[in-house]
Amino acid sequence: MIRRLRLWPLLVLLFAVTLHAKTPVARGTGGAAATISEQATQSAITILDQGGNAVDAAVAAAATLGVTDPFSCGIGGGGFMVVYLAKDRRVITLDHRETAPASTQPTLFVEGGKEIDYDTAVASGPSVGVPGTVRGWHEALQRYGTLPFAQVLAPAIDVAERGFRVDANFSGLVARNEAKFARFPATAALYLRDGKAIPAGAMLRNPDLARTYRLLASGGVDAFYQGPLANAIVDTVNRPPTARGVSVRGGRMTLADLANYDARVRLPVRSTYRGYELYGMPLPSSGGVTVFEALNLLEGYDLASLPRAEVEHLYLEASRLAFADRDAYLADAEYVDAPVAGLLSKDYAAQRRALIDPNRAASGVVLAGDPYPFQHDPSPPLRPAPRTLQPESAHTTHLTVSDKEGNVVAYTFTIEDWGGSGMVVPGYGFLLNNELTDFDFTGPHPNVPEAGKRPRSSMTPTIALKDGKPAFSIGSPGGSTIITTVLQTIVNYIDLGMPMDQAIDAPRLSQRNSAATDIEPGYSDSEQAKALMARGQRWSAQAEDIGAANALVFNADGTVTAVSEGRRHGVGSAGVQTPAR
């Protein structure tokens, strides 16, 4: 009897762990959600159960991710939301990307005629763009939601107050950024313990963020962009509150920059691929254009009939060519007349496709093409010179939600680097972005810093329709690898016929017009890798997990399958309102 009693607490613990284990795939009816966080997915389902729609649920999940995934996203950053409106049978996009303050000059990251070191630029006031997330949530809820801001924020407030158990992935992310976080006392107080990362298993509460969310719940969007909170943001950017003996460059953000911030409702970028209609973010996101150009290149091959190694070789070469064009031409369309129509022309793709050798990889960096003859635009073109790929942080988050009415949201938002600029706004509990490091540091180039400009992004939230109805949604974090993750997952799903969970979990290869392709740990010794190496493909020296994708698949029987990562980023979380039996 004594032995049985001693075993009982262990059995209870094992049951609790099983009960709360993340489920990366869920299938059923009603609404569905997929995020990287169990709490965020549950927040979305809670709002759906309360009668909210997909937009309401997406904002609820996003606010919760600001608590549980704060190094990737939050109200100190910005993002892109793609929404399918079932009643209107149309797709809209909501751009709430951060903007450069009005004082910004093209030499923002230049001192003494030389570019500032990238890591130094990240942890600084000048790196912080005017945050757009709160304005984006407000616009989404006002235009397309059904519930009040206070109700939508309630689940996130609860998580911030009650806290959550830090897992090994969370602790590991803090450990990688201990030096950056230690520079700023407000950040260190929240995420470090005696100068070291908060350990796995510890309970983390964020009462300051809970109070901030309550401020937004009662005061709405104006509580963020005006008043004491706005003052605190400006003070943090311009006079970074640092630890003793630490010096960090201050920015030049003003209260007017915050008060003048505006989100944009934009037409989506659209393309077709093997019977699917694809919708994505327009500029300043480069993701939709680049993915769709690469798919246009691949559409000229019967990929379904080819061996996997040949399909992946063609995918890598198409990505290489599309990235060459992306880096040369794409930037904020309010500042640059980018040749999007030409880049998305099927005829242009046919011309570029002729450069692909089905048996041999390109030897290195390829040149951008000339899409202007396919642009059908009489204005004189700007043909930028090719440049080396600008560094881009790989730390963002993506979520996707649907509701019983058929509305769908694919939402990617970010604060850029792990932990953004590293600066928590004292007393308010959220990190500020370092989004302006997404600009090219020197020019001439379409993506140089300018006042009010939105830096080019790689975020690629995507919704696919078939026969006029939602077929699937897909998106991922990962900096510029977002584009290749979305592209490869679409190829895996449509061309290789993989179920979506296998399409997401498959090894990722990211070719972004460089001599070597980025790969994940353990891949280089695989038979798959050897088959590609025989075609001249080369791998980067350092392997890391690429992306943390989330997707929804709308099945022919009326059910929906929510899919998150099965192994990356600590495993993702999927949920449905009514699970299938």
Nearest by Cα to 109 from 324, 360, 391, 476: 391
CA dihedral angle for residue 133, residue 137, residue 139, residue 142, rounded to 10 degrees: -160
C-alpha distances (whole Å) from 354 to each of 19, 351, 369, 513 are 54, 6, 12, 17
The span from the CA of 250 to the CA of 534, in Å, is 51
Q: Which of 396, 400, 517, 561 is catalytic?
A: 396
The span from the CA of 319 to the CA of 323, in Å, is 6
Q: What secondary structure does DSSP assign to 282-313, as a single string?
A: -TTB-HHHHHHHHHHHHTTS-GGGS-HHHHHH
CA dihedral angle for residue 506, residue 279, residue 81, residue 520, rounded to 10 degrees: 20
Residue type, 390: Q
Nearest by Cα to 552 from 3, 32, 119: 32
DSSP state of 275: T
Asked about 462 being catalytic, the answer comes back as no
Q: Residues 6 or more apart from 384 whose CB is under 8 A from it?
A: 328, 329, 368, 444, 445, 446
The label of the residue with tokens 């235009």 reads: 143
Q: Residues 6 or more apart from 398 whose CB is under 8 A from it?
A: 36, 410, 411, 412, 459, 461, 475, 476, 477, 548, 549, 550
C-alpha distances (whole Å) from 506 to each of 314, 318, 421, 490, 570 are 17, 19, 32, 12, 16
The span from the CA of 328 to the CA of 379, in Å, is 18
Alpha helices by DSSP H, listed for 418-497, are 481-490
In angstroms, the first-to-last Cα distance of the chain is 39
188: which 2 tokens? 């260190």
Burial of 244 (C-beta count, 10 Å sphere; 0-12/13-18/19+): exposed
158: which 2 tokens? 């609860």
Q: What are the residue numbers of the active site?
A: 396
